[in-house]
């Protein structure tokens, strides 16, 4: 915080932010990956305003709102397979926390209980939020190392990265390699594992780590074989970001529990949801006196204003071609960023759909990262800010996650700013001498 420099937004429209001093900035990370249709979309604005005339908030503990019921029905309709029973919360961390508790409780009180299933398997470099349970799943030292004394230890899986493969593993064999590692862990621990928790296809906060194609389907099959639940955290990758409404659809996978947030309300209001398949729900279905209900609740879970925004956003997905355009826009953005592939300090340009990570490295041959004290990622993003683009790094991975509604000209503006900023901070002609001086 000692280095914090205030950046205060006064207004926003479409893909653009306006600061209190009048500067216009392209929202290159969708206001932390949640803005889908742009700021001040007339349809969503109208839905929220209309709901405000009726009721702004009621509790969903013992009652509900008509608009929240409508959203629940809509989510059951649009999520994959038989996902159909929904618990609302206020943020992505809370949706994962709820999923973990659901999975734990499921094994304790299903028809044939398995009380030893109390652990979770999480991938390497995982990030699932900042509440205590979700932090426990995490594998990023900055978020969990300090708090280790109050966290539980998950069974830690591999980092299924398509860029940093083991020397003996080819890209064609990568999915099988990581699936084999996960199966080995399940063979040892399946009797005590309640669920595998993972972000499907892309691990966002880990640095846009992109999984080998086919791995998700293999993990689903392993969960079925070893009697373990699969929890898919789609907080970041859901709602069109990867080119389909939900990332697990790419591999025709239906998780037992799916977590969503961020894009659920198109970035308008805090809301998250945890949706489960019937066999999970049925373990909680009993008379009140049996005390099998899900003892978990949020004051603002299912908030009517947020529900109205979410319904309007989903309606836009269904009545426009915004989802169908994602792949073409993603291809266009990657083509515009292609010149960076020749930069000696760009190691990888990766992601799925309109989730792009550009990893800056000190040495291409060894894939050695820059010393973290150099703050390369931060300096590049600071340079982009000077050019009118708001982006944030994940250490030295530059993230580009523009709103899905971005036009080609806006994607041009974003790509140009990123390329120019990288060249400004790590120019081609001096990188070799800089590295030599460091050594």
Tens-place pLDDT, residues 388-397: 999 999 999 9
**How many other CB atoms are found less than 10 A from the CB of residue 187?**
10
| 8-state DSSP, 39 | B
Please enumerate, as own/partner, the contacts of 19-26 that have beta carbons within 8 Å and a separation of 24 or more.
Answer: 23/388, 24/388, 25/385, 25/388, 25/389, 25/390, 26/388, 26/389, 26/390, 26/402, 26/410, 26/413, 26/414, 26/417
Q: What's the pLDDT at 334?
A: 98
In DSSP terms, 257 is beta-bridged to 231, 276
336 within 8 A of 411, measured Cβ to Cβ: yes
Q: Is 93 annotated as a binding residue?
A: yes
pLDDT in tens, 163-177: 999 999 999 999 999
Would you say 232 and 253 are in contact if contact means Cβ atoms under 8 Å apart?
A: yes
| Cross-strand partners of 203 | 209
| Cβ contacts of 142-148, under 8 Å, gap ≥ 24 | none
Q: Is 262 annotated as a binding residue?
A: yes
Reported confidence tier of residue 375, pLDDT bands at 50, 70, 90:
very high
Residues in the chain: 439
Where do the structural domains in the chain lie, given as residue ranges? 9-36+323-438, 43-319
Dump the DSSP string for 52-72: HTT-S---SSS---HHHHHHH
- pLDDT given at position 361: 97
Q: How does pLDDT run across 324-356, given as a tens digit for each residue?
A: 999 999 999 999 999 999 999 999 999 999 999
User: Which residue(s) pair with 27 in the sheet?
Assistant: 390
Same CATH topology for 9-36+323-438 and 43-319: the answer is: no
Phi and psi at residue 270, to the nearest 5°: -70, 120
List, in sequence order, every residue forming a beta bridge with 195; answer none if it has no partner: 120, 229
Architecture of the domain made up of 43-319: 3-Layer(aba) Sandwich (3.40)
How many angstroms separate the CA atoms of 6 and 157, rounded? 39
Interval 194-203 mean pLDDT: 98
Res 430 pLDDT > 60: no
Average pLDDT for 217-231? 98
Is 412 flagged in the annotation as binding? no
233 annotated ligand-binding residue? yes
pLDDT for residue 45 is more than 80? yes
Q: For the whole model, what pTM was predicted?
A: 0.96
* β-bridge pairing 272-276 and 257-260: antiparallel
Whose structure tokens read 């592939």?
Answer: 341
Q: What is the pLDDT of residue 397?
A: 98
Q: DSSP letters of 204-268?
A: TTTTSEEPPTTHHHHHHHHHHHHT-EEEEE-TTTTTTTTSSSSGGGGGT---SEEEE-GGGGTTS
- Per CATH, which fold does 9-36+323-438 belong to? 3.90.1150
Longest CA–CA separation in the chain, Å: 74
For residues 168 and 309, what is the distance between their CA atoms, to the nearest angstrom? 49
Best CA proximity match to 233, nearest among 331, 334, 131, 313:
131
- φ, ψ at 6 (rounded to 5°): -60, 135
Q: For residue 429, what pLDDT is reported?
A: 54
Instruction: Say what the pLDDT of residue 131 is.
Output: 94
Comparing C-alpha atoms, which of 334, 328, 250, 314 is closest to residue 74?
314
Percentage of the chain beyond pLDDT 70 is 97
Buried-state track 234-253, b at ≥16 Cβ within 10 A, e below 16: bbbbbbbbbbbbbbbbbbeb
Residue with tokens 């990758």: 237
The answer to whether 193 touches 228, Cβ cutoff 8 Å, is yes
How high is the pLDDT of residue 143? 83
What lies within 8 Å, CB to CB, of 401 at 6+ separation is: 28, 29, 30, 33, 241, 354, 355, 356
Contact 111, 279 (CB under 8 A): no
Backbone angles phi and psi of 3, in degrees to 5: -100, 5
Residues 6 or more apart whose CB falls under 8 angstroms from that of 62 comprise: none
81 is in an annotated binding site: no
User: pLDDT tier at 414 (50, 70, 90 boundaries)?
Assistant: very high
Mean pLDDT of the chain: 95
């Amino acid at each position: 915080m000692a280095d914090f420099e205030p950046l205060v937004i006064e207004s926003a429209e479409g893909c653009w932010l306006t600061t209190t001093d009048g500067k216009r900035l392209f929202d290159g990370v969708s206001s932390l990956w949640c803005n889908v249709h742009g700021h001040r979309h007339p349809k969503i604005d109208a839905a929220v305003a209309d709901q405000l005339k009726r009721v702004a908030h009621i509790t969903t503990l013992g009652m509900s709102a008509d608009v929240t019921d409508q959203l629940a029905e809509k989510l059951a309709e649009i999520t994959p397979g038989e996902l159909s029973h929904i618990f609302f919360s206020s943020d992505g961390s809370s949706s994962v926390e709820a999923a973990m508790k659901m999975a734990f409780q499921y094994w304790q009180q299903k028809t044939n209980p398995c009380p030893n299933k109390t652990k979770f398997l999480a991938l390497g470099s995982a990030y699932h939020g900042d509440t205590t349970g979700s932090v426990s799943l995490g594998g990023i030292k900055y978020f969990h190392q300090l708090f280790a004394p109050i966290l539980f230890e998950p069974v830690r899986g591999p980092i299924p990265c398509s860029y940093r493969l083991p020397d003996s593993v080819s890209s064609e064999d990568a999915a099988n390699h990581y699936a084999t590692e996960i199966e080995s862990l399940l063979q040892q621990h399946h009797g005590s594992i309640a669920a595998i928790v993972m972000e499907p296809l892309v691990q966002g906060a880990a640095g846009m780590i992109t999984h080998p194609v086919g791995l998700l389907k293999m993990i689903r099959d392993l969960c079925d074989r070893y009697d373990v639940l699969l929890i898919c955290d789609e907080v970041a990758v859901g709602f069109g970001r990867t080119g389909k409404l939900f990332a697990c659809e790419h591999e025709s996978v239906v998780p037992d529990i799916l977590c969503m947030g961020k894009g659920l309300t198109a970035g308008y209001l805090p809301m998250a949801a945890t949706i489960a398949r019937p066999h999970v729900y049925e373990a909680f279905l009993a008379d009140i006196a049996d005390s099998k209900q899900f003892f978990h609740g949020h004051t603002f879970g299912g908030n009517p204003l947020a529900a109205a925004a979410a319904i309007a956003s989903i309606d836009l997905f269904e009545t426009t071609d915004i989802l169908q355009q994602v792949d073409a826009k993603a291809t266009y953005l990657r083509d515009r960023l292609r010149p960076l592939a020749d930069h000696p300090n760009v190691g990888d340009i990766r992601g799925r759909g309109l989730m792009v990570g550009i990893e800056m490295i000190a040495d291409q041959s060894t894939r050695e990262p820059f010393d973290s004290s150099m703050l390369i990622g931060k300096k590049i993003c600071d340079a982009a800010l000077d050019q009118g683009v708001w982006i944030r790094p994940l250490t030295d991975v530059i993230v580009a996650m523009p709103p899905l509604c971005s036009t080609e000209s806006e994607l041009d503006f974003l790509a140009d700013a990123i390329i120019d900023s990288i060249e400004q901070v790590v120019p081609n002609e001096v990188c070799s001498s800089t590295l030599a001086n460091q050594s």
